[in-house]
Structure 1
Amino acid sequence: FAPTAADRFSSHAPFHFDLSILDVHVCLKHGATLVLVGEDIGKDAPRLAQLIADERISIWYSAPSILALLAQFGNLARHDYSALRQVLFAGEVFPVKHLRALCELLPKPRYFNLYGPTETNVCTWHEVPLPVPPERSTPYPIGKVCSHLRACVLDEQGVTVTRGSEGELAIAGPGVMQGYWALPEQTARGFFNANDGTAWYRTGDIVTEAEDGCYTYLGRRDRMVKRRGYRVELGEIEASLYRHAGIKEAAVIAFADELAGVSITAFLSSRADKRPSLIEIKRFCAENLPLYMIPDRFSWLDSLPKTSTDKIDYQRLKTRG
């Protein structure tokens, strides 16, 4: 990213969220300025948009949900963002329609999709080529592995798969944690040792690797369910729902069902004046998803609950089942 002492970094992520590691330490390393974003401003789109402009922030880093909020409600056209040269995002999948809207409003910065669990911090990166095509609906790849790390893709038996095949992403190198504090059993489950003694961390994320070494994120291993004999990735259903123009947020949860084994609920939010009817949503799903992936139930909320790190709170949604 070639930061310099002239850069002004945002510090939006709370310090218990691993995004803050880049904000603080990269900024300090290069002698740049760190602009602290107060919690009261951090989720208030109009005030946050004003702060980014007034503070002349040049490198912004946050979860995609905050950037989507800015694109929808920040009135970005009112402000001067000539200082903003890089927009970094990580922590969750950025729905393409929200990313496209942001890039159209702010076309000059470079956009980077960063990936990495807390246990590795950022381990892959991908620069989004602009403009985002209007026909694109699939999320961008998580990219290539960082130069100080190594990556491989494993099957369920822990054997490396061929390029192009699905598997679990594993990471090794100096950026990987040593283990979980006072939790030896959890540490043992999270790592495996290669024949050369290298400790590899199993991320739990399912990916494919392209011929050029670029990784595409498919979903969490623990978010795959069997339904009617088919393997269903809940994130694929979410990605399809996000393609509907009237849907602002989508989260899909699988619940145990005595008769069917698994039932699927889609929790959705929209702008009040654009909420689609149930018939419209079901028709949309029938046109874009195979029958076995269509949710059994749709639940509308004013907004989906968030964690302290601004990600959708799936645990709270599960209590609504």
Structure 2
Amino acid sequence: MLDLDLAPSTKPLTIDGITLTAPIGGMLSEWARKWGSRIALVHGDDSMTFAALDRRVDRLAGALQNSGLKEGDRILIQMPNSIGLVTTLLAALRLGVTPIMAMPAQRLHDLSALVANAQPVAYFAARELHGFQYEVLARSLQQAHPCLRLIVLDGTDVPEDYLQLSALDAPFHPVQPPALTDLALLLLSGGTTGTPKLIPRTHADYAFTFLRSAEMAGVDEITIYLAILPGAHNFILSSPGILGVLSHGGRVVLANAASCDEIMPLIARESVTHIALVPPLLRLWIEARTWESSDLSSLRLLQIGGARVDAALVKQAQEVFGTTIQQVYGMAEGLICYTRLNDAQHVILNTQGRPMSQEDDIMIVDMDGHEVAPGETGELLTRGPYTISNYYKAAAQNAASFTAEGYYRTGDLVCQDADGNITVMGRIKEQINRAGEKIAAAEVEAALTRHPDIEEAVVVAAPDPHLGERTCAFLKGPSRTLPDLAIREFLRKNGMEAYKIPDQYAWITHWPQTAVGKLDRKKLVALAQKRDG
């Protein structure tokens, strides 16, 4: 186990009342001393105690040392939810190596751009997942980028020229712990289009994030957290996620499927108390409870995040699952907002909560950068002790993404109530400029989903030779025969101004997604143009 005697470079650091005394890789040894015999991780039929996790991380870090990895190196991790993902991440952090957290769904185009930017020396992946062979992707990456001198695959029948993760085992030779202010890991930005930017998070700011988030979510030693969304997501890794639950002695159950007939029996079997979902998945789960009857009474908290959620869906979730609902809004760049567990019903239903730290500094500004009046909508700017001040090796993006005063431009349109609760209204780039009139896509989407035959709606702007941009509504629901005229009449009768009523409608069976799991509005725009033609 790692010697935690503090070197001068790792002197304690306090952020908003939380005192940090060790970098993240060293924190695991503290957890193992407190809860050594308790189960930390469960994946399928496999489980691992805190003590065994600490030992495995040590032995894996030792093997990586022997393979030539050293402090300051970067590695690319593209692994599904598994014990291998957690041990690889923690071993890298213990060794002072910087993980780049890629999503399992990303492919050569995105990964090649990330590798070209960050120059990692190793690539860690599952051998295969859902039929996709990552060893083929690994060869393409290695051929294109000589910096990748080491390939490690988690699974069996690994090619001879690659390393098998489970076989990596060697004594760890303790190294100087990184400073709390040193770079810990690189997360991916959640942009809806283009190659994700790299987000540099330090040991201190990221540890604060998952420790404070655990407080917000009521995590304790009896918490059993089910991770079904990809663990590389900031939401699942630290809000409170895998790291927040482990930091409080709780148990993390890891899964790679979200289908109700697999996951709901798993919740019952493992007595899961906490789970995090995105709104589209939540809707499917609510529908599934009409036929899926597993005992979900162990659930104490259902978090909803990753996208704006309609109040009616939140209320329906409360009724169907009979558990506390917590809205979560934030970004891998830093700022995280939560509704509190004891908030009033109207706050939980209608807002995305308020910042988790009293040291979070936020501004809501108009298009000219001037603060808007209380309650009015504008772009959210933020800075604070756990929010980044730059992207990694991205000078051009930094100039556009940060103000001269150090505020991060979120690109989110929000309003704030008198108690500090934030409601997300949409994205700046999701505004439609129709013949000079500005239309918030979120407003139209909310109005459309009030129709009983429309379950979900996404509104995008498509180029138009006459209007500049026209409003296109993509719809999902049980009936795909609802006439356009009937939808327009419904919106008109419910008070929507004529210029805000969509010009084009299309029914869709599934939402296109980017590699990082966000809605791909660019593909919807292309589809709108194609259907128009």
Relative to the length of structure 1, the TM-score reads 0.87
- 1:69–1:306: structure 2 CA closer, same or farther, 3 Å change rule? farther
Larger radius of gyration: 2
- The aligned residue for residue 69 of structure 2 is none
Could you tell me how far apart the structure 1 residues matched to 2:501 and 2:458 are?
13
- The aligned residue for residue 59 of structure 1 is 274
Could you tell me how far apart the structure 2 residues matched to 1:280 and 1:131 are?
37
TM-fit CA distance, 1:162: 3.2
- The aligned residue for residue 112 of structure 1 is 326
Could you tell me how far apart the structure 2 residues matched to 1:267 and 1:222 are?
17
Unmatched tracts of structure 2, length 5 or more: 1-216
Cα deviation 1:210-260 (Å, max 9, x = unaligned): 222222222111111222442210111111111111112211111111112
Paired residues of 2:411 and 2:429 also in contact (CA < 8 A): yes
- The aligned residue for residue 29 of structure 1 is 247
Q: Determine which of 206, 219, 235 is the counterpart of 1:19.
A: 235
Cα deviation 1:143-200 (Å, max 9, x = unaligned): 2111252222123232333322322111111221242121112112211243xxxx21
- The aligned residue for residue 186 of structure 1 is 397
Q: 1 or 2, which has the higher helix percentage?
A: 2
Could you tell me how far apart the structure 2 residues matched to 1:130 and 1:30 are?
23
Relative to the length of structure 2, the TM-score reads 0.54
Could you tell me how far apart the structure 1 residues matched to 2:499 and 2:429 are?
19
1:278 aligns with 2:484: yes
1:145 aligns with 2:355: yes
Letter in 2 for 1:59: H
- 1:216–1:98: structure 2 CA closer, same or farther, 3 Å change rule? closer
Paired residues of 1:103 and 1:131 also in contact (CA < 8 A): no
145-154 vs 87-96, which moves further = 145-154
Paired residues of 1:169 and 1:202 also in contact (CA < 8 A): yes
- The aligned residue for residue 99 of structure 1 is 314
- 1:271–1:312: structure 2 CA closer, same or farther, 3 Å change rule? farther
165-174 vs 303-312, which moves further = 303-312
Could you tell me how far apart the structure 1 residues matched to 2:422 and 2:344 are?
21
- 1:144–1:15: structure 2 CA closer, same or farther, 3 Å change rule? same
Letter in 2 for 1:224: Q
Could you tell me how far apart the structure 1 residues matched to 2:441 and 2:242 are?
34
Q: Determine which of 92, 110, 126 is the counterpart of 2:339.
A: 126
275-284 vs 203-212, which moves further = 275-284
Could you tell me how far apart the structure 2 residues matched to 1:286 and 1:307 are?
33
1:177 aligns with 2:388: yes
- The aligned residue for residue 294 of structure 2 is 79
Unmatched tracts of structure 1, length 5 or more: none
Q: Determine which of 305, 312, 317 is the counterpart of 2:512.
A: 305
TM-fit CA distance, 1:275: 4.9
Could you tell me how far apart the structure 2 residues matched to 1:249 and 1:81 are?
26
Give the percent of matched residue pairs that are identical in Structure 1 and Structure 2: 26
Q: Secondary structure at the match of 1:192?
A: coil
- 1:28–1:128: structure 2 CA closer, same or farther, 3 Å change rule? closer
Could you tell me how far apart the structure 2 residues matched to 1:45 and 1:309 are?
22
Q: Secondary structure at the match of 1:104?
A: helix
Query: For the aligned residues, what is the CA RMSD?
Result: 2.5
Paired residues of 2:382 and 2:409 also in contact (CA < 8 A): yes
Paired residues of 2:512 and 2:520 also in contact (CA < 8 A): yes
What pairs with 1:217-256 in structure 2 (closer than 5 Å)?
A: 217-256=424-463
- The aligned residue for residue 162 of structure 1 is 373
What pairs with 1:190-229 in structure 2 (closer than 5 Å)?
A: 190-194=401-405, 199-229=406-436
Q: How many residues align?
A: 308
- 1:76–1:117: structure 2 CA closer, same or farther, 3 Å change rule? farther
- 1:216–1:12: structure 2 CA closer, same or farther, 3 Å change rule? same
TM-fit CA distance, 1:93: 1.1
Could you tell me how far apart the structure 2 residues matched to 1:149 and 1:167 are?
18
